[in-house]
Structure 1
Amino acid sequence: MIVDHLARALVTATATLVELVGPAGDAERAALNTLEEIAYLLGQMTADERQEFRDVLERVAAAEPERADFIRSLPGSLDLNLES
């Protein structure tokens, strides 16, 4: 499914950005800005879309056990609660 590919791309980008946050400097600011933008854009989803996103991430996590914990933590890390 194309949604799975998009979710994987998001996971990869987010994982890379999270790694960049550690060191000080311009990369840190850029990573934080990008993570904030990702959270903002995904925050525009409806509650149903957020649940669908969680379902997709669960499929991706099952397919990528080495990153499963990180993948499953993304909605909470990006403040994507289902009530909004």
Structure 2
Amino acid sequence: MLVDQLARALVTAMVTLVESVESGRDAERVALNTLEEIAHLLGEMTSDDRQEFRDLLERVAAAEPERADFVRGLPGALGLDGAS
């Protein structure tokens, strides 16, 4: 379910940010590892969930024009362009 995958990805990002601040770990390595883990979690979505995710991102892009290109590029950046 899309909501479950998004919640898990958000938790991953939040935990990593908090832990990296507390531990002073290498920010670049932490960021790359976190992005890979988020991509993996979201990669578990079904084809229908991926389409719903793309639709959701399109609404976010429309609401945040200054970030629209970045938001619209997320599925490709996360390797979610193909079918599950």
The answer for unaligned runs of 5 or more in structure 1 is: 18-24
Q: Give the percent of matched residue pairs that are identical in Structure 1 and Structure 2.
A: 79
Q: Distance in 1 between matches of 2:82 and 2:51?
A: 7
Matched residue, 1:70: 70
Mean Cα displacement is larger for which, 52-61 or 74-83?
A: 74-83
Larger radius of gyration: 2
Residues 14-67 of structure 1: per-residue CA shift (max 9 Å, x gap): xxx9xxxxxxx8100000000000000000000000000000000000000000
Unmatched tracts of structure 2, length 5 or more: 18-24
Distance 1:34 1:65 in 2: 25
Structure 1 outlier segments of 4+, above 6 Å: none
Residue in structure 2 matched with residue 20 of structure 1 by the alignment? none
Aligned to 1:52: 52
Q: TM-score, normalised by structure 1?
A: 0.70
Q: Distance in 1 between matches of 2:61 and 2:82?
A: 19
Displacement after TM superposition at 1:82 (Å): 4.0
